[in-house]
């Protein structure tokens, strides 16, 4: 089989998670809102899963709302808070390197009369708490900064940022889609009002996410309809996936320390192998404050898509922030925000590992990259060797 190194895009549903969810598609198919035994069965499972998610995050079950995905949680948190607080003010603070689920939601709010400040980041992709403090105005109602970046893996100082927001009486939301399951959260003791997470980044299926909303905070409901999710997010619950999320987040939390240790060792082996054996490569993101599984590098003189295609032919699955993969001419907004010129940002590669990867896979990937990068550079008009005869 192939080598899967795209766990930041999505993860495999593991066997215990699949086993936990399957009965909720067949035997226990009831609607949690129904009064009868089938319904009560389903409701019990729903409540248990909510308790599991809450326990994994150090939150109360009543603070967890299940959503259709991480993007929905981001949309809901930002729009819901903006509209709930619009009498106080219409200013929102975010960063230049947020996921599009946050950025495009903020851009839409700008069209609806809100003002948004997009904070710059440093060369490692860090948002500084000072810059947040400086940007807060009397009419600021929300700060939304991601817990960890999806492309370059940088872990943001959300504890400090949240504390500053709270000092000034401003709500703090964090998109923790890449962080939950890999980085510890204790929400009862963190200055976080809302947190978005997604199931399929931690071995649950696609199509399930959650939003944590601190008790006492009232934001606008996301969808109107039935009384599901305390009437805040109507729609019959995706019970099997909710059960899967409960199981997956519990497993991720139980094994967090050992997984982080194993995965970060693989990550460091991969980074070291690439940087030490291939010339003209740069590591993107912070050398230490980074997700255990994230590797993001730029190879000069070559373009990301041709690199990905070549890796795919060797059975290695990665991703790139390259223009050509998305169909736009601009490379990743994250790589541009950390100050990379376009031509270097075009040659980016993200390999995101999980505890299921092995040292052999890492070593095979390093060897494959050496060969592929050499081949692509040999045909690149930018490769200095190929410019020797320029007139």
Partner 1 sequence: MYTEQVMDHFMHPRNVGEIEDPSGVGEVGNAKCGDIMKIYIKVENNVIVDVKFQTFGCGAAIATSSRATEMVMGKTIEEALAVTNKQVMESLGGLPPVKHHCSVLAEEALHAAIADYKARHPEA
What residues make contact with partner 1 under the rule CB under 8 A? 301-306, 309-310, 313, 322-324, 327, 329, 331, 342-343, 346, 378-382, 386, 389
Give whichever of 45 and 349 is closer to partner 1, judged by the CB atom: 349
3-class secondary-structure state, position 214: coil
Kindly state the smallest distance separating residue 299's Cβ from partner 1, in Å.
11
Is 324 an annotated catalytic residue?
A: yes
What lies within 8 Å, CB to CB, of 371 at 6+ separation is: none
Give whichever of 199 and 304 is closer to partner 1, judged by the CB atom: 304
DSSP 247-307: HHHHHHHHTHHHHHHHHHHHHHHHHHHHHHHSSSEEE-S-SSSB-TTEEEEEETTS-HHHH
3-class secondary-structure state, position 12: coil
Residue 364 has, within 13 A of its CA and on its CB side, a CA count of 15
Kindly state the smallest distance separating residue 372's Cβ from partner 1, in Å.
11
Work out whether strand 140-144 and strand 115-119 pair parallel, antiparallel, or are unpaired. Answer: unpaired
Rounded-to-integer distance, Cα 50 and Cα 289, Å: 30
What lies within 8 Å, CB to CB, of 107 at 6+ separation is: 116
Among residues 69, 106, 298, 324, the one annotated as catalytic is 324
Residues with catalytic roles: 324
């Amino acid at each position: 089989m192939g080598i899967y190194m795209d766990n930041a895009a999505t993860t495999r549903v593991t066997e215990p998670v699949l086993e936990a969810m399957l009965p909720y598609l067949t035997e226990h198919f009831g609607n949690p809102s129904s009064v009868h035994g089938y319904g009560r069965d389903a409701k019990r499972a729903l409540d248990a899963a909510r308790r599991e998610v809450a326990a994994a995050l150090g939150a109360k079950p009543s603070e967890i709302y299940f959503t259709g995905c991480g993007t929905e949680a981001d949309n809901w948190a930002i729009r819901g808070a903006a509209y709930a607080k619009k009498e106080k003010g219409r200013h929102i603070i975010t960063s230049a390197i947020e996921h599009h689920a946050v950025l495009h939601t903020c851009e839409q709010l700008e069209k609806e009369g809100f003002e948004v400040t997009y904070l710059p980041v440093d060369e490692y992709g860090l948002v500084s708490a000072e810059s947040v403090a400086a940007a807060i105005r009397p009419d600021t109602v929300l700060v939304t900064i991601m817990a960890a970046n999806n492309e370059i893996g940088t872990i943001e100082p959300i504890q400090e940022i949240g504390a500053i927001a709270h000092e000034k009486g401003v709500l703090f939301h964090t998109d923790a889609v890449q962080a939950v399951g890999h980085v510890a959260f204790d929400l009862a003791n963190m200055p976080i009002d809302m947190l978005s997470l997604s199931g399929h980044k931690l071995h649950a299926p696609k199509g399930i996410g959650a939003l944590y909303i601190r008790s006492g905070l009232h934001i606008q409901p996301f969808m109107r309809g039935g009384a599901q999710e305390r009437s805040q997010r109507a729609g019959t619950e995706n019970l099997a996936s909710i059960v899967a999320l409960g199981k997956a987040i519990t497993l991720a939390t139980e094994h967090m320390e050992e997984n982080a240790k194993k995965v970060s060792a693989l990550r460091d082996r991969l980074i070291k192998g690439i940087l030490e054996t291939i010339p003209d490569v740069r590591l993107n993101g912070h050398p230490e404050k980074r997700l255990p599984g994230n590797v993001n590098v730029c190879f000069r003189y070559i373009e990301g898509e041709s690199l990905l295609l070549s890796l795919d032919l060797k059975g290695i699955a990665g991703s790139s922030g390259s223009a050509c993969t998305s169909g736009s001419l601009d490379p990743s907004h994250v790589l541009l925000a950390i100050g990379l010129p376009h031509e270097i940002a075009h040659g980016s590669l993200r390999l995101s590992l999980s505890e299921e990867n092995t040292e052999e896979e890492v070593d095979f990937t390093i060897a494959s990259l050496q060969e592929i990068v050499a081949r692509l550079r040999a045909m690149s008009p930018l490769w200095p060797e190929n410019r020797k005869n320029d007139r």
